[in-house]
Homo-oligomer: A and B are copies of this chain.
Amino acid sequence: MATLLPDSPAAMTAGTAAPALETLIAKGKPRYRTATEFVEATLRDGILSGQIPGGTPLRQEDLAHQFGVSRMPVREALRQLEAQALIDFAPHKGAVVTTISAADAADLFAVRLALEPAALRLSLPHLTPEDLLRAADSIADMDGERDLNRMGDLNRQFHMTLYFRANSPRLLALVEQHMAVFDRYLRFELAALGWDHLKQDDHRALLDACHDKDIPRAETILTDHLRYADQALRTFFAKRDGQIP
């Protein structure tokens, strides 16, 4: 069976090997209830993990063939991805994976800086000792982790544990969605900051502040934490994009 994205422009400019969609499909199969769910979840994972790079055109027929379904569930899945701003969908022209960029990273941080401190502020007073233990476990798990995608999951899990009691479903959904989108930049953040000191000090300090129920301190730590990553990414992109010409 043909592989997806063998000669997408983004794949070529990035110089990365073109991954086959089969690996994504073969992954953990949570027994999707509909083909649309299956296609949507698989494509989203592929995009967020970076396996389907920005700029990749998503041909309906190709996707249908590779997923072993007809074009209809593919179309429904693409509609949902469009609403999540993961693909651009132009009438009669087709879908293209949205590109990532320094400007988009800054944009994303602006959203996270708006959402996450708000979620933390609402959640912190209701956090239970069990919640804090789970958060501590997430930190411990991150210490030994070397896989980028799993690291992203753990990081998201840690933060979401702290936000979880916010009792604000819309806010939490937005936070989670944008943290997931940020996974697309995780490899760059890694390149900018390095593996080991990947903000674990911040995580522990944040957890301490939550333990003390100190809202202003926790908010400050979280805000600085995000700003620091934002700044690191900015300088990284500035250096990288300065080299090109």
Interface residues of A (CB under 8 A from B): 33-34, 36-37, 72, 75-76, 79-80, 82-85, 91, 104, 106-108, 110-111, 113-115, 117-119, 122, 166, 168-171, 173-174, 178
Contacts A72-B72, A91-B37 given; indicate if A173 touches B115 (C-beta within 8 A).
no
**A85 to chain B: which residues have CB within 8 Å?**
170, 173
- Measured in the bound complex, the distance between the Cα atoms of B79 and A156 in whole Å is 26
**A171 to chain B: which residues have CB within 8 Å?**
107, 110-111, 114
Q: How far is the CB of A69 from chain B (nearest CB, A)?
A: 15
- Measured in the bound complex, the distance between the Cα atoms of B75 and A17 in whole Å is 36
Q: Is the CB of B107 within 8 A of A169?
A: yes
- Measured in the bound complex, the distance between the Cα atoms of B107 and A22 in whole Å is 40
Q: How far is the CB of A222 from chain B (nearest CB, A)?
A: 13
Can you name 19 extra interface pairs (CB under 8 A) apart from A34-B91, A79-B83, A80-B82?
A: A37-B91, A79-B80, A80-B80, A83-B83, A85-B170, A85-B173, A104-B170, A106-B168, A107-B168, A108-B170, A110-B170, A110-B171, A111-B115, A111-B170, A111-B174, A113-B118, A114-B114, A170-B178, A174-B174
Nearest 4 pairs of A and B residues by beta carbon:
A83-B83, A114-B118, A79-B79, A110-B168
Sampled A-B contacts (26; CB under 8 Å): A34-B91, A72-B72, A76-B76, A76-B79, A79-B83, A80-B82, A85-B170, A107-B168, A107-B169, A107-B170, A108-B170, A110-B118, A110-B122, A110-B168, A110-B170, A110-B171, A111-B171, A111-B174, A113-B118, A114-B114, A114-B115, A114-B119, A114-B171, A115-B115, A170-B178, A174-B174
Most buried by B among A104, A111, A166: A111
Closest residue of B by beta carbon distance from A117: B114
- Measured in the bound complex, the distance between the Cα atoms of B73 and A93 in whole Å is 17
Closest residue of B by beta carbon distance from A33: B91
Q: Is the CB of A111 within 8 A of B72?
A: no
Closest residue of B by beta carbon distance from A34: B91
